[in-house]
Amino acid sequence: MKTLSAAAALSTVAAAPAISEAAGPIDSQTWSFTGPLGYYDEGQLQHGLYVYQTRCQACHSLGLVRFSSLTGLDVSEDAVKALASTYEIPYINDDGDRDVRPGVLNDTFPWALGNPKRAIATYGKAPPDLSTMARSRIGGADYVYALLTGYDDAHEQPEGAYYNKVMKVISMPNPWPADMSDFEYPNGTRPSLEQQARDVTAFLNWAADPYLEERHQWGIIVVLYMLALTVISFLAYRVVAAKVYAKLDAEGGPDPEH
Amino acid sequence: MAGSRSPFKNPFLKGFDERLPILRAVHHSMTAHAYPKNLNYWWNFGSIAGIMLLVMIVTGLFLAMHYKPSVQEDTYGINQAFRSVEHIMRDVKGGMFLRYMHSVGASFFFIAVIFHMFRGLYYGSYKAPREVLWILGCVILILMMGIAFLGYSLVWGVMSFAAAEVITQVFTAIPILGDDILILLRGGEDVDDALLNRFFALHFLLPFVLAGVVILHILTLQTVGSNNPLGIDLKSKKDTVSFHPYYTFKDIFGLALFFTIYLAVVAWAPERLAEAINNQPTDYNLPSHIVPEWYLLPFYAILKVFTWDLNLFGLVITGKQLGALAMAGSLGVLFMMPWLDTSPVRSGRFRPVFKFFFWGFVLCCLILALVGAQTSGEAFFIPTPFGRLPLGIDAGNGFVWGSTQQWGVLFTGYYFAYFIVILPVLGLFEKPKQLPASISEPVLA
Amino acid sequence: MAGTPTDVANPDRRNFIVLSTMAMAGIGAASAGVALVRTMTPTRDVAGGGVIEVSLEGIAEGSGIVASAGRKKYSVRRRTAAEIEAAVAGDSEKLRDQQTDAERVQRPEWLVLRLQCPHLGCPPQGTASGEKRGEFGGFFCPCHNSQFDTSGRIRKGPSPANLPVPKYFFASDEMIVIGKEA
């Protein structure tokens, strides 16, 4: 990036779509978390976590999500501790050697690929971290869902990459196996591809915005309070104005020559 | 002022005030200064802007307790600066609100200042004796733009890097010294750790410089007095009112309404005004679609529409240099307002022809903002709730009729024409409506 | 607008409205202030980070380990019978910071202490085998020569108090949790 011409950077004669914009239109989906009264369905988030673990985790990290935050999925702290301990966290042991230890609550989800260099060596391109993915793209959750359901193996595949309705050329292969008839959620239900995509999208939205519900509730309280304050301050203004006008009619205000 | 007697009865206040007369200065400006009694709601935006500056400084200070300006990457490939912002959003108690109050607050600070400035442009608040007041306001605007740009870079997301890269590159337009200035600004050849750290230092410092200029701005106002919607001077005590309690309570109401909208956005749509891609840490590559924050769009448009070189008798001015000069000029021309507008009448209310061109200027700024957001070579369009309204056609052979760049050049032309041609000429030939005798006597003289 | 009277003519009602406005604005400002100060409290990634689990397996009688939680150092020592006897004998002596051994341990065999000398904060030695224990066979602070007994009580030297006993509990016979109560 040494001597990139500003003119070249600014006057883009664009053929390639913007990185954060889809190449085609994205369908609007219904989510429980959209709108000022949006909320998360914890059951859906738990299913989404399961889909992340089975289909995404092998390549994508969630480096900003701590295990402790999973209690927001309505899971007990002991269950979260147990989940955390199934992960191997790399660290340097007392002998000074690279080692792994079981995860604790405070750890973030480890990256299966370990570090960016190994990711690039394995795949040519590092699969991006998913912690903020749901708010890094125009369309948010709709984009993520469209991308996950946008694969078409029957379509002509671009050289060295894959075809996806949303990105046209995508380095990520189709994460969905052709035969999912045996796939089950821990509660025994058999979800379709669309259902899995929906659940993992909701989970990724939570990963990007875990305090959505708190923010919405705060909004209701604060906005109602502010509306009340606006009304009462308007009344106070009119009250004061009346007093001031009465005085002005009699005496006038400060001397402008002052 | 210090020579006058202390107005306080309370012995502690009186004693303090006699030793350091700041309390009586505040009391004096609130009660003894003559304000026009006919100020309308457009005059609320000054105090709103002042409060927003306070909000930004306070939220910024508390953010700075957690932010780390380092490009060092962890094993996930996430840089420390970006991670510290996410740390604020996730781990700091109340951190999500703090961060969104600051990012949404920047937008609302600009909204207040934009309405405040357009009020000034419409009612002639820049005319004598308020030239210094206006110029200080222009300085405030430029400082705000600089501070906002610096702050946006600190996130070190994809667009933060793009902003730092592109805007520091503009300095290479300076002849001879341009490349050395670039290295000096960046602390190196590339946008890297050195730049991030100094951007943080500057972003922390400049708001206090800004506050100082705001104080000068207010002191100037108290000296020259406030303009009013009629644009005519105060003639007698019948025209005036003291700031307190009338405008104190009017401002409190205006603030409450403004904050209701501001906090609603913070709660329910905090990312609406932001660029989504900046929620991803930078990989030091430019995204294909570079856009600044919305309040910088018109100036960004003026910067980017100049892509051809100008040959003046052998002296070549490159497109990059033209763009940089035009952008600087678009701000510089604001400073000249008191002398460009030749009309003897202040307020646009009595200038029917001016009104037409003024609203044309407002439209021009909106169009330029859209130009700044869109891709230069593509057909220009107006986004509406019902879809895109195209104002250009791609002819297919590589040429576009009504491209973003073409519309940009046209309206950049109007922007400069408004200041350099229209306003000077209009004042000389316009026949204004009859001004009233005074504020308190709306009947014609 | 000029000169329009308001419909609220009663002066008390007028004052009430004005006072309510100021009160509501004040409450708003105060809650904003509280929220701001709250951002200075320990963040979620370190909250509760002072708790540590220590395995007691493999600690032989007469030895101990030092466990760290953040910047805090703890000593977990398995005392010999002789050390316990000496500690109990010290109960009847006149001590600068009078405490019985029973007040300082939950199980006599296990001595759990915070390794921070109450004098000026250095971590005393004496936990693991081979470290200096001082005259009283307990702990020795190398900074200013405070000497502690086998119960961690100050016997000689400048420390004004005994080595602090942290909150801890036995999760099992093999595991203690230091940093919080059961």
The residue segments making up the domain with residue B8 are 1-32
Q: Which of A239-253, B109-123, B342-356, C145-159 has the lowest mean pLDDT?
A: A239-253
pLDDT above 60 for C8: no
The torsion region of residue A96 among left (phi > 0), alpha (psi -120 to 50) and beta comes to left
Angle (nearest 5°) at CA C57 between C53 and C62: 105
Q: In this complex, do C45 and B65 lie within 8 Å of one another by their Cβ atoms?
A: no
Q: Read off the pLDDT of each residue in B74-103 and give the average, rounded to a whole number.
A: 97
Residue A255: pLDDT band (50, 70, 90) is confident
Angstrom distance (rounded) from CA B149 to CA B200: 11
Q: Which chains touch B (3 or more CB pairs under 8 A)?
A: A, C
Q: Read off the pLDDT of each residue in A134-139 and give the average, rounded to a whole number.
A: 94
pLDDT tens track for C69-116: 888 999 999 999 999 999 999 999 999 999 999 999 999 999 999 999
pLDDT tens track for C19-52: 999 999 999 999 999 999 999 999 998 866 778 8
**Are B8 and B79 in a shared domain?**
no
pLDDT tens track for B400-409: 999 999 999 9
Q: pLDDT exceeding 90 applies to what percent of chain A?
A: 76
Three-class SS of chain B: CCCCCCCCCCHHHHHHHHHCCHHHHHHHHHHCCCEECCCCHHHHHHHHHHHHHHHHHHHHHHHHCCCCCCCCECCCCCEHHHHHHHHHHHCCCCHHHHHHHHHHHHHHHHHHHHHHHHHHHHHCCCCCCCHHHHHHHHHHHHHHHHHHHHHHHHCCEHHHHHHHHHHHHHHHHCCCCHHHHHHHHHCCCCCCHHHHHHHHHHHHHHHHHHHHHHHHHHHHHHHHCCCCCCCCCCCCHHHEECHHHHHHHHHHHHHHHHHHHHHHHHHHCCCCCCCHHHHCECCCCCCCCCCCCHHHHHHHHHHHCCCCCEEECCEEECHHHHHHHHHHHHHHHHHCHHHHCCCCCCCHHHCHHHHHHHHHHHHHHHHHHHHHHCCCCCECEEEECCEEEECCEECCCCCEECEHHHHHHHHHHHHHHHHHHHHHHHHHHCCCCCCECCCCCCCEC
**Are B281 and B150 in a shared domain?**
yes
**Are B260 and B350 in a shared domain?**
yes
pLDDT tens track for B217-234: 999 999 999 999 999 999
Write down the pLDDT at residue B375: 93
Write down the pLDDT at residue C132: 87
Q: Which of A57, A64, A129 to mutate to test the interface with B (most CBs of B within 10 A)?
A: A64
Quick check: bond before B36 cis, omega within 30?
no
Q: Read off the pLDDT of each residue in A168-197 and give the average, rounded to a whole number.
A: 92
Quick check: bond before C11 cis, omega within 30?
no
Residue C10: pLDDT band (50, 70, 90) is low
Distance from CA of B184 to the nearest CA of C (A): 36
pLDDT above 80 for A258: no
Q: Is the pTM of this model over 0.80?
A: yes
Residue with more model confidence, A238 or C13: A238
DSSP per-residue letters across chain A: -TT--HHHHHS----SPPTTS-SS-------TT-STT----HHHHHHHHHHIIIIITTT---TT-BGGGGGGGT--HHHHHHHHHTSEEEEE-TTS-EEEEE--TTPBPPPTT-SHHHHHHHHSSPPPP-TTGGGSSTTTHHHHHHHHT-B-TTSPPPTTSEEETTTEEESSPP-S-S--TT---TTS----HHHHHHHHHHHHHHHH-TTHHHHHHHHHHHHHHHHHHHHHHHHHHHHHHHHHHHHHHHH-SS-TT-
C4 has a chain B CB within 8 A of its CB: no
The strands making up C154-156's β-sheet, listed across from edge to edge, are: C139-141, C146-148, C154-156
Q: Which of C22, C43, C46 to mutate to test the interface with B (most CBs of B within 10 A)?
A: C43
Q: Read off the pLDDT of each residue in C142-154 and give the average, rounded to a whole number.
A: 94
DSSP C133: -
**Are B1 and B98 in a shared domain?**
no
Angstrom distance (rounded) from CA B296 to CA B303: 11
Phi, psi at residue B403, to the nearest 5°? -75, 165
| The pair of three-digit structure tokens given for residue A225, joined into one six-digit string | 């309070």
pLDDT tens track for C126-142: 998 888 888 999 999 99
Write down the pLDDT at residue A1: 36
B37 has a chain C CB within 8 A of its CB: yes
Angstrom distance (rounded) from CA B151 to CA B204: 9
Q: Classify strands B35-36 and A168-170 as parallel, antiparallel or unpaired.
A: unpaired
Q: In this complex, do A7 and B319 lie within 8 Å of one another by their Cβ atoms?
A: yes
Angstrom distance (rounded) from CA B70 to CA B91: 19
Write down the pLDDT at residue B443: 59
- For residue C74, give the 3-state DSSP assignment: strand
User: Closest-CA residue in chain C for B63?
Assistant: C39
Write down the pLDDT at residue B8: 87
Maximal C-alpha separation, chain B: 84
**Are B22 and B125 in a shared domain?**
no
| The pair of three-digit structure tokens given for residue C73, joined into one six-digit string | 């150092």
pLDDT tens track for B272-310: 999 999 999 999 999 989 999 999 999 999 999 999 999
Residues C134, C148 contacting (CB under 8 angstroms): yes
Angstrom distance (rounded) from CA A180 to CA A171: 23
Residues B379, B400 contacting (CB under 8 angstroms): yes
Distance from CA of A154 to the nearest CA of B (A): 29
Distance from CA of B235 to the nearest CA of C (A): 17
Residue with more model confidence, C9 or A137: A137
pLDDT above 60 for A14: no
Angstrom distance (rounded) from CA C22 to CA C87: 65
**Are B168 and B283 in a shared domain?**
yes
**Are B199 and B340 in a shared domain?**
yes
Angstrom distance (rounded) from CA B216 to CA B137: 10
Write down the pLDDT at residue A58: 95
Q: In this complex, do C35 and B94 lie within 8 Å of one another by their Cβ atoms?
A: yes
Q: Read off the pLDDT of each residue in A174-183 and give the average, rounded to a whole number.
A: 90
Q: Read off the pLDDT of each residue in B32-61 and give the average, rounded to a whole number.
A: 97
Angstrom distance (rounded) from CA B445 to CA B443: 6
**Are B84 and B230 in a shared domain?**
yes
pLDDT tens track for B4-25: 788 888 999 999 999 999 999 8
**Are B22 and B120 in a shared domain?**
no
Q: Which of C4, C15, C31, C36 to mutate to test the interface with B (most CBs of B within 10 A)?
A: C36
pLDDT tens track for B317-330: 999 999 999 999 99
Residue C7: pLDDT band (50, 70, 90) is very low
Residue C5: pLDDT band (50, 70, 90) is very low
**Are B20 and B53 in a shared domain?**
no
Domain CATH code at residue B75 = 1.20.810.10
Write down the pLDDT at residue B3: 58
Residue A99 β-bridge partners: A91
Residues A120, A126 contacting (CB under 8 angstroms): yes
For all residues of chain A together, what is the average pLDDT?
Answer: 89
Residue A5: pLDDT band (50, 70, 90) is very low
Write down the pLDDT at residue A25: 78
Angstrom distance (rounded) from CA A226 to CA C31: 13
Domains held by chain B: number:
2
C43 has a chain B CB within 8 A of its CB: yes
Residue with more model confidence, B398 or B98: B98
Residues C2, B37 contacting (CB under 8 angstroms): yes
The torsion region of residue C150 among left (phi > 0), alpha (psi -120 to 50) and beta comes to alpha
Write down the pLDDT at residue A180: 87
Angstrom distance (rounded) from CA A172 to CA C173: 51
Residues C169, C177 contacting (CB under 8 angstroms): yes
**Are B292 and B184 in a shared domain?**
yes
Q: Read off the pLDDT of each residue in B377-392 and give the average, rounded to a whole number.
A: 92
Residues 109-138 of B with CB under 8 A from A: none
Residue with more model confidence, C48 or B183: B183
**Are B117 and B146 in a shared domain?**
yes
Q: In this complex, do C36 and B98 lie within 8 Å of one another by their Cβ atoms?
A: yes
